[in-house]
Amino acid sequence: MSPYHALMPLPKAELHLHIEGTLEPELAFELAARNGVALRYPDTEALRQAYRFADLQSFLNLYYELMAVLRTERDFEDLANAYLARAAAQGVRHAEIFFDPQAHIARGVSMGTVVEGLWRALEKSRQNHGVSTRLILCFLRDESADSALTTLEAARPHLDRITGIGLDSAEAGHPPAKFREVYRAAADLGLHRVAHAGEEGPPAYITEALDVLGVERIDHGLRCAEDPALVERLVRDRVPLTLCPLSNVRLRAVDSLADHPLPALLDAGLMCTVNSDDPAYFGGYAGDNFDAVRDTLGLGEDRLRELARNSFLASFLEDDEELRAAYLAEVEAYVFP
C-alpha cells in the first residue's frame, strides 16, 4: 500500500481548526456568485495560487478578504458542512471548531447569523458526518480588549451553542494579559478557555496565557521548546498543545517539516496533538497532517496512536465521558495498515 494517505482512517479529534480557514477556492466562488460579491481573482486556479504566503500577516490579509463571501446563515452552514465532510473522510470523529465573530460583525454580519448558521450544520453533524462537535468563539488579539468584551456580550444569547473561548490572529505585540478581563468573564460564565500562544510570540506568552488567562490548552505552543522550565511545567500539569505542522511550515514558524519540534516535544513528555489550523490555506486537513509527520518525521505507530489518544483526552468531552471512552477504544483498536 502506498504510504500516502495511510493514516486517514486513524480515529482522531481535531482541536485547532478555524472554520473560516476551511474556505476552499471552489466554495469561495460559489458563495461569491450566490451573494453578488466580486472577487479579485479571475478563477479558482488564480485564487489557489494566491494561497501562498510569506508569513502570518500575509495569510491573514487574504483570510479576512475572502470572508466577504460569507453573508447568510446558509453560507456558514455550507462552510461547516464542507469542512465536516472533508474531516470525516480523514478520520476526524470529533471537532472543536473555532470561529472569529469580530471579523464578521465588523462587516455587518451579526453574531446570530454566524452562530446559528454554523449550528445548523453542527447540530446534525453526528448523523450526517459521524463527527461530534463543539464550538469555540475566538477573539482577535489585534483588536482591543474592549472589543473582546463587547463580543462576549453579543454572544450571550447563543451561549448554549458555545463551549469555550479562544484567542487568535496576529500574535506578536499582543500579549495574552491584554485579555485578562474577558477571560475572567468567560470563566464566570462556565466557558472553557484556550489561547494561541508561542507560535510567533515568545515562550513567555505561553506562561502568561496559563497564569493570567487560566487557559486549559495552548494552541500551537511550539516555542515552549526554548524554555526548559516551561516544558517541565507543561509536562507536569499535562497541558495539551494543539500543534499544526503543515501550518507551521506554510507560515514559516519552522524552516521545513523535517525541522518541526514535534518528535522532541513528544520525547520530552508533552501532551501533543496534531491539527490542521486553516486547512484550505495550509495544504492539508487533519489526516494530511498525520501522514506528513509520519512520512517526514518518522513517527512510529506508538507515537501516532499516542497523538490520536491525546486528541480525545484533551478534548472538551467532559459532558459526555461515554463518547470519549468509545473514541478512545476506537483508537486502541485501530490496526495500522
Query: Could you tell me which residues are annotated as the binding site?
Result: 16, 18, 196, 277-278
C-alpha–C-alpha distance, residues 226 and 106, integer Å: 37
Of the candidates 143, 199, 200, 306, the residue annotated as catalytic is: 199
Which region, judged by CB under 5 A, interacts with Zn ion, from 63-71, 75-83, 229-237, 271-279?
271-279
Which region, judged by CB under 5 A, interacts with Zn ion, from 114-122, 158-166, 272-280, 316-324?
272-280
- DSSP secondary structure letters along 205-265: HHHHHHHTT--SEEEE-GGGGG-HHHHHHHHHTT-EEEE-HHHHHHTTSSSSGGG-SHHHH
C-alpha–C-alpha distance, residues 292 and 275, integer Å: 11
Note whether 129 and 85 are within 8 A (CB).
yes
Name the residue nearer to Zn ion (CB basis): 310 or 331: 310
- Phi and psi at 334, nearest 5°, equal -65, 130
Among the listed residues 78, 200, 208, 277, the single contact to Zn ion using CB under 5 A: 277
Q: Smallest gap, in angstroms, from Cβ of residue 21 to Zn ion?
A: 8
199 a catalytic residue: yes
Under rule CB under 5 A, residue 200 binds Zn ion: no
Q: Please state the residue numbers annotated as binding site for Zn(2+).
A: 16, 18, 196, 277
Whose cell is 490548552? That residue is 217
Binding mask of the shown chain, residues 118 to 157, with x at each position contacting Zn ion by CB under 5 A: ----------------------------------------
Number of CB atoms found within 10 A of residue 303's CB: 18
Whose cell is 519552522? That residue is 254
Name the residue nearer to Zn ion (CB basis): 73 or 278: 278
Name the residue nearer to Zn ion (CB basis): 166 or 203: 166
Which residues are identified as catalytic?
Answer: 199
